[in-house]
Amino acid sequence: MNKIEKQVLKKITPSLEYKTKIKKITLEISKKLEYEIKKRRLPATVELVGSIAKDTYLKNDLDFDFFIKFPTKYSKDEIGKNALLLGKKILVNTEESFAEHPYIRGYFKKFKVEIVPCYEIEKSSQKLSAVDRTPLHTKYIKKFLPDSKKSQVRLFKQFLKGIGCYGAEAEIEGFSGYLSEILILKYSSFKKLLEGAQKWKRGERLTLIKEGNQIFETPLVFIDPVDENRNVASAVSKEKFDLFIKACKDYTKKPNIKFFFPKKIKPWSLKKINEEIEKQKCQYLCIQLKKPNIISENLYPQVRKAIRSIKKMCRRYDFTVFDAKFYINKEIYMIFKTKIEPLSKTTIHIGPPTRLKENIDDFIKKWKDDPRVIKKPYEKNGRYYVEIKRDYTNIKELLITQIKNLSLGKHIDQIIKDNYLILEKPDLINNNLRMFWTEYLDNKMTWER
């Protein structure tokens, strides 16, 4: 390891004293859960999973993940209901969430804790829900990851955090803790992993086991060593895949502690933001709507779907969308970078080649009495054309008229029907969006700031 990596490890590795404190908290939570389980006469057991159980957690950045394992005879409703009751008994500031069944988040002595119900299984083929595998993941890492490699996992996790790629949740679409651990098992060290990743291509397929023939359409595939039908890297988006490879190349060329601990970006002044936007030969439009009261795992996929649908519609009507981003705080802001000029009032619609007689007849018949036609079907250079009046020449008018007809996601559809705003400059340059504009216009990697 170089000096930087040694320095990082010193900062993120929990001391013996810290580990003792964490172990004490773990036992306290476990005992309270076991007491409540016994009091309710539930045939369930408590298991600590995740990075704390595997001793791959980072100092001052940890969650306690407890799984309550039930016999398979119980229904998902029953195990979910009981997990919520247990959580409410021992945690404060709780939040109910839902995957295949309910689970609960909250705090115990200022520590974040998740209590998740699952079924007790011995192998993945017995699973009744996706989370049933998690205890098997913990068991696998504890068995195969030697103590000597845990520092490499910690280093890699901090690297991912620093470059903005750590976390498989919908908000981030990056590398999970378990994926980080099996990548170190695959490549043996942080250095070798970064060197190997530079050669990855989209669709890269990795494994630690003899795998089946399952096909996965994702940028990165890593076959789960406890379940050959699962891709551990399924959450990694194209953007995070490309970002990670770039970071690996840049760090290998010139190591810097900012890859692990980037500088916090200071929001620009509204004046500077305005000046930078003025330099660009484009316009920005924003759809602003209220943030629905749903968990991030449901919200972020809907926002991404909404942006894809809006971009597709704009392009269908011949509007150029250079870029589209979103920003979420108390509101949702979907921001589109487009051409400034309005479109021409008419457009040329291309028809079939002159050699296709039957198609030409259909083309002429289709447009013959259409009220939008400005110039009837005509032949030019071996092909037929028709000039028609555009439905929309202004992108804002298109959005106002058509956005409610799109499928944007269950909760967003409802909000759009009730209320939304379309913002243009200067309404877009405001304090709520200062951090968005700063990061977007600065356009630097975290390690370059």
On the question of pLDDT at 408 being above 80, the answer is yes
Q: Do 166 and 221 lie in a common domain? A: yes
Asked if residue 441 belongs to a domain, the reply is yes
302 and 227 in a common domain: no
Same domain flag for 294 and 402? yes
pLDDT value, residue 214: 84
| DSSP secondary structure letters along 332-364 | EEEEEEE-SSPPPSEEEEEEEETT-HHHHHHHH
Tokens 């484009």 -> residue: 282
426 with 288, same domain: the answer is: yes
Whether 164 has a pLDDT exceeding 80, the answer reads yes
Q: Same structural domain for residues 159 and 241?
A: yes
Q: Indicate which CATH number applies to the domain containing 367.
A: 3.30.70.1550
Over 80: is that where the pLDDT of 348 sits? yes
Q: Which of 92, 111, 143 is the last residue of a domain?
A: 143
The separation between the first and the last C-alpha atoms of the chain, rounded to the nearest angstrom, is: 24
The answer on 379 and 440 residing in a single domain is no
Query: Residue 399 in 3-state DSSP?
Result: helix
Same domain, 276 and 251: no
Alpha-carbon distances, residue 251 vs 85, 150, 162, 194, 248 (angstroms) = 47, 21, 12, 8, 5
E strand or H helix at 325: strand 321-328
Cα–Cα distance for residue pair 23/113, rounded to 1 Å: 14
Q: Tell me: do 158 and 209 sit in the same domain.
A: yes
Residue 404 is encoded by which pair of tokens? 């409610």
> Is 8 a domain residue?
no
Task: Annotate 281-294 with b (16+ C-beta within 10 A) or e (fewer).
Answer: eebbbbbbbebeeb
State residue 99's pLDDT score: 66
Answer whether residue 264 is part of any domain: no
pLDDT-based confidence at residue 216 (cuts at 50, 70, 90):
very high
Is the per-residue pLDDT at 444 higher than 70?
Answer: yes
Domain annotation covers residue 61: yes
What's the domain range around 382? 346-389
pLDDT at 101: 73
- Mean pLDDT of the region 328-345: 93
Closest CA to 50 of 141, 174, 153, 183: 141
The verdict on residue 265 lying in a domain is no
Of 211, 231, 259, the domain-final residue:
259
Nearest CA among 275, 281, 290, 388 for reference residue 334? 290
Number of domains in the chain: 4
Q: Rounded to the nearest 5°, which phi and psi values hold at 182?
A: -75, -25
Residue 5: inside a domain: no
Q: CA-CA distance, 409 to 297, in Å (whole number)? A: 13
Q: What local confidence, expressed as pLDDT, does residue 336 receive? A: 97
When pLDDT is averaged across residues 59-83 and rounded to a whole number, the result is 90
Residue 59 CB contacts under 8 Å (≥ 6 apart), including other chains: 11, 12, 13, 14, 15, 18
For residue 357, pLDDT over 90 is answered with: no
Q: Give, in order, the Cα–Cα distances in Å from 349 to each of 179, 375, 383.
A: 50, 11, 11
Strand-pairing partners, residue 378, are 385
Higher-confidence position of 32 and 77: 32
How many CB atoms neighbour CB 387 within 10 A?
16
98 falls in which pLDDT band (50, 70, 90)?
A: confident
Instruction: Please report, rounded to a whole number, the percentage of residues in the chain having pLDDT higher than 70.
Output: 100
Of 96-105, 115-124, 283-292, 335-344, which gets the smallest average pLDDT? Answer: 96-105
Higher per-residue confidence, 361 vs 139: 139
The answer to whether residue 7 sits within a structural domain is no
d(CA 187, CA 189): 6
Same domain, yes or no: 98 and 18: yes
Does 24 share its domain with 127?
yes
pLDDT of residue 327: 96
240, 259, 278 - which closes a domain: 259
pLDDT of residue 320: 94
Question: Is residue 233 located within the same domain as residue 295?
Answer: no
Q: What is the pLDDT of residues 122-158, one digit of tens each?
A: 888 888 788 899 999 999 999 999 999 999 999 999 9
Domain CATH code at residue 90: 3.30.460.10
Nearest residue to 217 (alpha-carbon basis) of 199, 197, 233: 233
Asked if residue 398 and residue 322 are part of one domain, the reply reads yes
Inform me whether the pLDDT recorded for 212 exceeds 80.
no
For residue 3, tell me if it sits in a domain.
no
Mean pLDDT of the residues in the chain = 93
Is the dihedral angle over the CA atoms 390, 396, 397, 401 positive or is it negative? positive
The per-residue pLDDT for 251 is 98
With 0.85 as the threshold, say if the pTM is over it: yes
Please report, for the domain that includes residue 314, its CATH number.
Answer: 3.30.70.590
